[in-house]
């Protein structure tokens, strides 16, 4: 997994799944489909893992087992692919994953586009107030190298915070690390709710596929919890096993689980009672995916405003500092008389 995930990486993953969906739905076998894609993959870096996949599948492994051995895909992908294999709807799983990664690519593009201007504005303000103006005030006698070093020290905490966030968000960290990161980000307004909703959307999508495949309820919930990517959900659902084994239904347990909103609990219970659980899970997936995406867009829109506020504070501080120095000089002159 790369250190920084870009929209193009998600787009290439979506293209891989799109090609697999088209080929398998046309009746082409998995091995032949993988060989066809390997000739012209969405990215050159896909050739080696695709070759490993072909070798594993040719030896009799299932597609999901082959993917697990290559350690190439996240848990969410593996859960949907496993469900697709078990129910004979592998092409549908490929299409779901293609749509999922296209959506993620669009979200990241939107966030980046919203952040370009405020990030540039912050850098511009720091250079103007801590390099250009001090250099002009010194009548061009100050050391530019020292002034730029001072500006770099001011920006350094921002770079450090960005690097720490990128490091913390990597999916390959340990369970405790990811759980701690999730707890911290959950407290961030809008962003925390958005991440939780997207985790619920992944959970519902995986549950729908696993339920259609006829996977037993205990295994389905455990696999879906892993696919959600949320350590909090995984731990909460792992504690259900004795209650499920004792005969309680997931709907009964969901009502006592604070990680699940009322809408999720009510829709799941309705689907369970009516026998249309797949429809309820599909509704939950689309609702929480839409709400999570909407909140991420809102977070991306508010982040520039925070940056503008910081720049405004910087300007206000400099204005107050200037007039304070100015009045102090006048006071010193007046006291001299």
pLDDT at 254 over 80: yes
197 in the same domain as 159 = yes
303 in the same domain as 177 = yes
* Confidence (pLDDT) at 2: 47
169 in the same domain as 71 = no
* Confidence (pLDDT) at 208: 86
pTM for this one? Answer: 0.73
Residue that terminates a domain, selected from 54, 80, 100: 100
CA 184-186-192 angle, 5° bins: 130
* Confidence (pLDDT) at 4: 55
180 in the same domain as 146 = yes
Output 25-28 pairs: Cβ under 8 A, ≥24 positions apart: 25/91
Distances (CA, A) of 12 to 17, 92, 200: 9, 18, 25
128 in the same domain as 46 = no
pLDDT at 10 over 70: yes
Domain count for the chain, please give it.
2
Q: Which residues contact 16 (CB under 8 A, 6 or more apart)?
A: 37, 41, 42, 46
Q: What is the mean pLDDT of the segment spanning 109-134?
A: 81
111 in the same domain as 96 = no
* Confidence (pLDDT) at 253: 93
Residue that terminates a domain, selected from 83, 100, 117: 100
15 in the same domain as 121 = no
241 in the same domain as 111 = yes
At 187-236, the pLDDT tens digits run 888 888 998 998 999 899 888 888 877 778 888 898 888 888 888 998 99
Identify the CATH number of the domain in which residue 67 sits.
1.20.81.30
Residue 127 belongs to a domain? yes
Q: Residue 230's domain spans which residues?
A: 106-337
* Confidence (pLDDT) at 1: 45
Binned at pLDDT 50, 70 and 90, residue 3 comes out as very low
């Amino acid at each position: 997994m790369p250190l920084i995930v870009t929209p193009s990486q998600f787009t290439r993953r979506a293209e891989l799944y799109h090609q697999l969906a088209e080929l398998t739905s046309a009746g082409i076998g998995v091995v032949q489909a993988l060989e066809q894609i390997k000739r012209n993959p969405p990215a050159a870096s896909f050739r080696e893992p695709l070759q490993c996949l072909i070798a594993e599948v040719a030896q009799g492994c299932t597609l999901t087992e082959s993917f697990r051995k290559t350690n190439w895909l996240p848990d969410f992908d593996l859960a949907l692919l496993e469900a697709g294999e078990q129910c004979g709807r592998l092409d549908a799983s490929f299409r779901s994953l293609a749509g999922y990664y296209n959506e993620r690519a669009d979200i990241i593009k939107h966030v980046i586009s919203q952040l370009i201007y405020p990030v540039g504005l912050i850098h511009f303000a720091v250079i103007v107030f801590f390099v250009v103006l001090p250099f002009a005030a010194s009548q061009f006698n100050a050391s530019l190298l020292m002034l730029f070093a001072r500006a770099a020290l001011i920006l350094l905490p921002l770079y450090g915070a960005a690097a720490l966030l990128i490091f913390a968000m990597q999916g390959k960290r340990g369970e405790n690390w990811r759980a701690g990161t999730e707890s911290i980000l959950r407290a961030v307004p809008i962003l925390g709710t958005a991440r939780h909703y997207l985790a619920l959307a992944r959970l519902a999508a995986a549950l729908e596929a696993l339920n259609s495949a006829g996977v037993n309820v205990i295994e389905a919930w455990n696999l879906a919890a892993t696919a959600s990517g949320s350590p909090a959900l995984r731990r909460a659902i792992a504690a259900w096993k004795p209650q499920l084994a004792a005969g309680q239904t997931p709907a009964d347990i969901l009502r006592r689980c604070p990680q699940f909103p009322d809408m999720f609990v009510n829709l799941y219970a309705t689907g369970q009672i009516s026998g249309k659980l797949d429809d309820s899970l599909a509704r939950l997936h689309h609702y929480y995916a839409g709400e999570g995406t909407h909140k991420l867009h809102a977070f991306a829109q508010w982040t520039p405003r925070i940056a503008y506020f910081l720049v405004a504070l910087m300007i206000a501080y400099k204005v107050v500092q200037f007039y304070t120095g100015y009045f102090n000089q006048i006071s010193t002159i007046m006291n001299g008389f």
